[in-house]
């Protein structure tokens, strides 16, 4: 049966936000909060969604006037809601001038980002801009035709400076520690390479509030699109599916205090986000990565499949209790034990088909923040880290590109080819661990050289190779 295409039912709001990276998470999160804010307060906070790479979002959303369906996957079944906060969609490689025009328009007061770790063009080990990144090299040579997020941000801010227009707020919404600080660092690094006076102006005038974001958002499948059409009677290739839970904690530091009333959807505006960031990044994202690598190697396709195994549920509990929570500062008003209990319940929701393979993507970018940070803090405090070392070992086995049945793994990572070559170039398991620890894009040399850490990872890697991931998890929780 052919269904009519979803279409917008209300006029598009004037654009006040430019958002870089209009993927599934943005549609399940930022745009929903903005719809809630405009439903309560009105305001000119329509979103211009900008894809820095693919035209897919434009091709899906523009025929629908920017409208799409966000489907909440609760225990009572899917609950669809049409979201109409996206006013236009641009594809940066096709028309960078149009993107810059929108970013420099005085009505644009916020530029928000969900560009994933690799979109910042930085070295995850130290957070600094990679001046040798191909997109950064291009953008420094061609400032009016940028490709990267830092290139677009700096060129647009420079144009606003020259025009005497107040700067926009740069709002990072990626799962990175101190994401506001990181965004500020790469923007200033890029601006300094262009013009020290511009860098000084940005440092003095531009706000980079930190955020903590949380909503599990599985990749949409063709079957999801068909299921929604059967339920609603319309076809929506831009639909997104997500868990009911959401949490957005935002440092309340915006240029001229110009921001939507995102608290209408439950957002928390606070003075300091760092403790919330650490809580989420280490408790949720850390165990997500643990389940992704160990679960994938053990043959589990989704997070809910993984934690249906009592050993893997116990893995999460033990990691939280012994190796993660000791490194998490107390966020104001949060009960950390209750938070982790709620996390496990969210993982166990069978309606959320969050694939271990999807979470395993870009591990070289994620591992330093999610796993290596708490690992190093525990080592400094003299606490053992056998569980986190096991996660590192599982990642090493995963990026080797062959699973426990001898089948190839489709490793999606900016360093995938390099990591595979490093692993393949070593003669035995211990040598593979040593060679991968020497990859300084991932491992800080001080941590990589820590004797106890090296010994634990090597032992864990040998255990995975000899006995498998499931048996290694069982050994850890015993």
H helix or E strand, kind and range, residue 90: strand 86-91
CA distances from 33 to 29, 45, 213, 276, 361 (A): 6, 11, 11, 19, 26
**Do 189 and 128 meet the contact criterion of CB atoms below 8 Å apart?**
yes
pLDDT at 219: 87
Distance CA 200, CA 254 (A): 18
Q: In whole angstroms, what separates CA 253 from the centre of its chain? A: 22
Distance CA 251, CA 332 (A): 13
**Do 453 and 372 meet the contact criterion of CB atoms below 8 Å apart?**
no
pLDDT at 258: 97
Q: Is 332 exposed, middle or buried (0-12, 13-18, 19+ CB in 10 A)?
A: exposed
Classify 326 as helix, strand or coil. Answer: helix
Place of tokens 């995975």: 464
Q: What is the pLDDT along the chain (478 residues), one digit of tens a residue?
A: 689 999 999 999 999 999 999 999 999 999 999 999 999 999 999 999 999 999 999 999 999 999 999 999 987 789 999 999 999 999 999 999 999 999 999 999 999 999 999 999 999 878 899 999 999 999 999 999 999 999 999 999 999 999 999 999 999 999 888 999 999 999 999 999 999 999 999 999 999 999 999 998 988 999 999 999 999 999 999 999 999 999 999 999 999 999 999 999 999 999 999 999 889 999 999 999 999 999 999 999 999 999 999 999 999 999 999 999 999 999 988 899 999 999 999 999 888 888 999 999 999 999 999 999 999 999 999 999 999 999 999 999 999 999 999 999 999 999 999 999 999 999 999 999 999 999 999 999 999 999 999 999 999 999 999 999 999 999 999 9
Distance CA 58, CA 48 (A): 11
b/e map 10-47, b = 16+ CB within 10 Å: eebbebbbbbbbbbbbbbbbbbbbbbbbbeeeebebbb
* End-to-end CA, the chain: 53
Q: In whole angstroms, what separates CA 405 from the centre of its chain? A: 30
Name the DSSP letter for residue 7. -
Distance CA 179, CA 274 (A): 10
- What is the chain's length? 478
CA distances from 102 to 14, 19, 285 (A): 11, 11, 33
pLDDT at 7: 96
Q: Is 74 exposed, middle or buried (0-12, 13-18, 19+ CB in 10 A)?
A: middle
Q: Which two tokens stand for residue 331?
A: 């966020």
Backbone angles phi, psi at 3, to 5 degrees: -105, 145
Q: Which two tokens stand for residue 289?
A: 């990565």
Task: Tell me the three-class secondary structure of 335-357, residue by residue.
Answer: CHHHHHHHHHHHHCCCCCCCEHH
Place of tokens 């957005």: 248
């Amino acid at each position: 049966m052919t269904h009519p295409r979803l279409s917008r039912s209300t006029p598009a709001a004037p654009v006040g936000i430019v958002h870089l990276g209009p993927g599934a998470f943005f549609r399940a999160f930022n745009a929903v909060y903005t719809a809630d804010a405009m439903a309560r307060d009105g305001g000119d906070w329509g979103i211009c969604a900008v894809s820095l790479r693919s035209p897919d979002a434009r091709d899906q959303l523009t025929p629908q006037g920017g409208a799409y369906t966000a489907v909440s996957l609760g225990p009572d079944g899917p609950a669809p809601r049409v979201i109409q906060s996206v006013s236009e969609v641009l594809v940066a490689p096709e028309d960078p001038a149009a993107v810059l025009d929108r970013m420099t328009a005085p009505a644009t007061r916020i530029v928000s980002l969900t560009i994933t770790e690799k979109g910042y063009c930085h070295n995850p080990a130290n957070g600094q801009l990679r001046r040798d990144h191909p997109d950064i090299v291009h953008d420094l040579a061609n400032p009016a035709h940028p490709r990267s997020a830092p290139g677009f941000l700096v060129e647009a801010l420079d144009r606003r400076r020259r025009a005497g227009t107040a700067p926009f707020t740069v709002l990072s919404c990626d799962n990175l520690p101190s994401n506001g600080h990181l965004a500020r660092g790469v923007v200033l690094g890029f601006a300094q390479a262009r013009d020290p006076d511009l860098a000084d102006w940005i440092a003095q005038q531009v706000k980079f509030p930190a955020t903590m974001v949380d909503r599990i958002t599985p990749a949409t499948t063709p079957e999801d699109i068909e299921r929604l059409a059967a339920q609603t009677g319309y076809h929506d290739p831009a639909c997104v599916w997500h868990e009911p839970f959401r949490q957005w904690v935002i440092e309340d530091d915006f240029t001229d205090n110009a921001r939507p009333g995102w608290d209408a959807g439950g957002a928390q505006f606070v003075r300091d986000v760092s403790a919330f960031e650490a809580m989420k990044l280490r408790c949720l994202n850390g165990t997500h990565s643990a389940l992704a690598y160990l679960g994938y190697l053990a043959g589990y396709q989704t997070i809910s499949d993984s934690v249906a195994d009592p050993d893997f549920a116990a893995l999460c509990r033990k990691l939280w209790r012994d190796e993660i929570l000791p490194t998490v500062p107390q966020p104001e008003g949060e009960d950390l034990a209750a938070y982790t209990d709620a996390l496990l319940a969210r993982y166990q929701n069978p309606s959320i088909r969050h694939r271990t393979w999807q979470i395993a993507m870009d591990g070289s970018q994620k591992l330093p923040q999610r796993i290596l940070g708490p690992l190093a803090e525990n080592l400094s405090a003299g606490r053992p880290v056998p569980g986190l070392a096991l996660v590192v070992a599982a990642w090493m086995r995963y990026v080797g590109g062959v699973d426990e049945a001898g089948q190839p793994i489709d490793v999606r990572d900016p360093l995938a080819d390099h990591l595979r070559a490093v692993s393949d170039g070593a003669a035995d398991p211990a040598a593979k661990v040593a060679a991968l620890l020497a990859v300084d894009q991932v491992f800080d040399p001080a941590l990589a050289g820590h004797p106890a850490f090296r010994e634990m990872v090597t032992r864990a890697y040998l255990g995975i190779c000899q006995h498998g991931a499931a048996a290694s998890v069982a050994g850890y929780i015993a």
